[in-house]
Structure 1
Amino acid sequence: MTQDLHVSGMTCGHCARAVTTAIQARDPAAKVEVDLAAGRVKAETSLSRADLAAAITGEGYAVTG
């Protein structure tokens, strides 16, 4: 399932890698796209929205939508 979340606090490549790594730690098969300018994370994953949000917030970023 593809999920699209608004995420605040991401500003650089390190942020994108941290979010991608956190999601793939929970679902190694996940395909993750991070759009820093738009503040969006799109993930094709088997994770629930809550688990996906938990992975992102665990890295210190806020899921706003």
Structure 2
Amino acid sequence: MVTTTYQVQGMTCGHCVSAVSAEVGAIQGVSDVRVDLATGQVTVTSDKPLDTASVRAAVDEAGYDLVGE
């Protein structure tokens, strides 16, 4: 298992957390997504390292921005 933390910008409420969790959680191989609204950190556990472009696309689909990477 691999755990990676990403910084997401633009989340302001519980709906934001749900949207990001659902989109990132749908990436193949992802087993857990934890979103900290206060810090904007999204911690993803997966069976192998994730392609950052896939995570960026999922976060974008949810309506938010992946910072850095």
TM norm structure 1: 0.84
Q: How many residues align?
A: 65
Q: Does residue 62 of the first structure (1) align with residue 43 of the second (2)?
A: no
For the pair shown, the structure with the greater C-alpha radius of gyration is 2
CA contact (8 A) 2:30 2:44 kept: no
Backbone CA RMSD of aligned residues: 1.6
Q: Does residue 12 of the first structure (1) align with residue 13 of the second (2)?
A: yes
TM norm structure 2: 0.80
Q: Which runs of 5+ in 1 are unaligned?
A: none
Q: Which runs of 5+ in 2 are unaligned?
A: none
> Which is richer in strand?
2
Residues 29 and 4 of structure 1: CA distance in aligned 2, closer, same or farther (over 3 Å): closer
Task: Give the 5 Å matches for 1:22-41.
Answer: 22-27=23-28, 29-41=30-42
The SS at the match of 2:63 is coil
Q: Percent identity?
A: 40
Q: Which moved more, 1:44-53 or 1:32-41?
A: 44-53
